[in-house]
Structure 1
Amino acid sequence: MSDIIFENIKITLESNDTDYEEVCNNLYQYNVRATNELLKKPGKDINLYLKDESGKAMGGLFCETWLYGLYLDVFWIADEYRHKGYGKVMLTEAERLGKELGCTFAHTCTFTYQSPEFYKNMGYEIFGVNDEYPDGIKQYFLKKKL
């Protein structure tokens, strides 16, 4: 892409080390103001790890809390530890901790090749689907009241 000049302002792919952080920080500050600081509530991350006997991470569930919601961002468990109940225990604990912080709901997204059935079995309901991906892949948006 070549730069686009619009009223003496440039639209470009070019950036430096601080551009990304500056844009994200400014968006965050705008959102905090626009929500009367509710965006910061409760504002604590919940990061759970599944570790083997040696202390190696074999899985993790990383969550953010904002607007009194628990957002399940990253959830992965190594193949050899799947279908043994660890995911259910981790998700239940994240929900408990989120509720303890004041969250009233949890939400996430997942793809057909990941775990929509797992979330549905854990009480999550699908409230949106993006079916524009190739090869029949769908992205599901799910939520659950805590």
Structure 2
Amino acid sequence: MSDARTPAQEATLTVGEHDPELDKRLEDGLDAFNAAATGNAEHTEFSVRVTDADGELVGGLSAQVWGGLCGIHLLWVREDCRAGGWGTKLLRAAEEEAVRRGCDRATVSSYTFQAPGFYQRQGYVEVGRVPGVPGGHEDVYLYKELKG
């Protein structure tokens, strides 16, 4: 029986501030793992942006596409522009782009104090909640089948 230690047994655990380089390594490692497990390595990201006449950001959306699923990460509209329908326009543009990229479904999460009702009015269906968000709120997960 050997007493040889593996590299992992000699490893050092550290906790620190946000580390963008670590994030990139983790993403690369998980992407490789996911591709091997599913046979689907294609993973792309895209964004939708609205600017005003002065070039200032009105709102935007970021999303990723993987295996026919569009995951909406962020959607935000500047407060003075929120009654102008920009959230709906951003979401529709993203869904159209997702379909163009081969997606047939989309997911998003929204805290109860944000906009789950907005997504439900756009045809998204609640599929789960996670309690414990500060202030007694929850994280709501929503899903929608996209039509091409």
Query: Scaled by the length of structure 1, what TM-score is found?
Result: 0.85
SS at structure 1 position matched to 2:44: coil
Matched, 1:125 2:125: yes
Alignment of 1:64 onto 2:67 = no
Question: Which residue in the other structure is 1:83 paired with?
Answer: 83
Gaps of 5+ in 2: 1-7
> What is the DSSP-based 3-state SS (H/G/I as helix, E as strand, rest coil) of the residue aligned with 1:95?
helix
In the superposition, relative to structure 1, how do residues 104 and 50 fare at CA in structure 2: closer, same or farther (>3 Å)? same
1:11 aligned partner: 13
How many correspondences in the alignment?
138
Q: How does 1:18-29 map to 2 (within 5 A)?
A: 18-29=21-32
1:45-93 deviation per Cα after TM superposition (whole angstroms, max 9, x unaligned): 2311111101111210111111211111110000011022111111111
Which residue of structure 2 aligns with residue 145 of structure 1? 145
- State the partner residue of 2:55: 55
Normalising by structure 2, report the TM-score. 0.84
- Identity percentage over the alignment? 25
Call closer, same or farther: CA 1:33–1:116 in 2, change over 3 Å. same
1:73-112 equivalent positions in 2, closer than 5 A: 73-112=73-112
5+ residue gaps in structure 1? 1-5
